[in-house]
Amino acid sequence: MRRRAGDSILIGDAIEVQVIETAGGRVKLGISAPPEIPVVRGEVKATCDANKRAAGLLTPERIALFTARLGIKNPQAR
Amino acid sequence: MPEIVTPHFGRLAYEETSIIEFPAGLPGFEDEHRFLLVDHGASRPVAFLQSASRGSLCFITMPVPALACAFRLSASTEDLRLIGKDSGKQPEIGKDVLCLAIISIADDGTPTADLLAPLLINLKRGLGVQAIQEEPQYSHCESLPLQSEESACS
């Protein structure tokens, strides 16, 4: 759907997305939603997922593999 | 001297002045505000961002300039304010801020770097933020060069 500045989109009964301003290839949006529904930029969610993956994948074995690949000392305590 | 027990470095004693405070935490770890940068000389350029609150939480990092010499910082004003660098222009990497990428390691040891949301650290003030780039040039999972040579952009 196409929207101009000042137009809005309703999602269900409780969420409204309003186009506040468009300029220079960017769109400024205003979003109204109930407090129990988190509203975040897509990049924030993607960063969240990337961080959880990075932290979750960090095992002593992977650190050893990684440092060996780089040719540097494995700093882990023995 | 406070200590934290970690699976990778054992018992880590640290000075309170070594703590890097992340006022906003990290996306996915918003309640984690206190970190240590564990940097063993022989392991450089790799450094570890170790939580000072949770021993099991640790990230591998590498300096962004070592991974992508053409990287241009485009942090938001809000993020720069969190580390006391909101002068109206982007801080200079290596001079005003340390810029690190979080590294993910796959099962076979293949690493990728998050160059879309680097860590910016104001070492003088002990403040850090994960700054999602406003004008991203790279993704969350960029392939690494495997050599530990000096930057190729000389």
Give A33: exposed, middle or buried? Use CB within 10 Å, 0-12, 13-18, 19+.
middle
- End-to-end CA distance of chain A: give it in Å, rounded: 60
Q: Is A66–B104 a contact, with Cβ atoms under 8 angstroms apart?
A: no
Helix (H) / strand (E) containing A43: helix A42-56
Establish if A56 touches chain B: CB-CB under 8 angstroms.
no
**pLDDT tens-place string over residues A13-70:** 999 999 999 998 889 999 999 999 989 888 999 999 999 999 988 888 888 888 888 8
B10-13 and B3-6 as β-strands: parallel, antiparallel, unpaired?
antiparallel
Q: Is A60–B7 a contact, with Cβ atoms under 8 angstroms apart?
A: yes
Instruction: Quote the pLDDT of residue A78.
Output: 55
Instruction: Quote the pLDDT of residue B97.
Output: 96
Show residues of chain B in contact with A41, CB under 8 Å.
Answer: 132
Instruction: Quote the pLDDT of residue B154.
Output: 47
3-state secondary structure of A6: coil
SS (H, E, C) B30-72: CCCCEEEEECCHHHCCCEEEEECCCCCCEEEEEEHHHHCCCCC
Show residues of chain B in contact with A70, CB under 8 Å.
Answer: 46, 146-148
Per-residue pLDDT tens listing for chain B (154 residues)? 999 999 888 899 999 999 999 999 999 999 999 999 998 777 889 999 999 999 999 999 999 999 998 899 999 999 999 999 988 899 999 999 999 999 999 887 789 999 999 999 999 999 999 999 999 899 999 998 644 434 445 4
Q: Is B28–A76 a contact, with Cβ atoms under 8 angstroms apart?
A: no
Q: Is the ipTM value over 0.85, yes or no?
A: yes
SS (H, E, C) chain B: CCEEEECCCEEEECCHHHCEECCCCECCECCCCEEEEECCHHHCCCEEEEECCCCCCEEEEEEHHHHCCCCCCCCCHHHHHHCCCCCCCCCCECCCEEEEEEEEECCCCCEEECCCCCEEEECCCCEEEECCCCCCCCCCCEECCCCCCCCCCC
Establish if B29 touches chain A: CB-CB under 8 angstroms.
yes
Show residues of chain B in contact with A50, CB under 8 Å.
Answer: 102, 104, 114, 117, 140-141
Instruction: Quote the pLDDT of residue A77.
Output: 60
Give this prediction's pTM: 0.86
Helix (H) / strand (E) containing A58: none
User: Which chain A residue shows the shortest CA-CA distance from B58?
Assistant: A55
Q: In what order do the strands lie in the sheet with A15-23?
A: A8-11, A15-23, A26-32
Establish if A47 touches chain B: CB-CB under 8 angstroms.
yes
Q: Is A55–B59 a contact, with Cβ atoms under 8 angstroms apart?
A: yes
Asked if A71 and B50 touch (Cβ cutoff 8 Å), the reply is: no
Question: B77: closest CA among B33, B120, B25?
Answer: B120
Q: Which of A62, A72, A75 lies closest to B105 in CB terms?
A: A62
Asked if B8 and B48 touch (Cβ cutoff 8 Å), the reply is: yes
Establish if B106 touches chain A: CB-CB under 8 angstroms.
yes
- End-to-end CA distance of chain B: give it in Å, rounded: 42
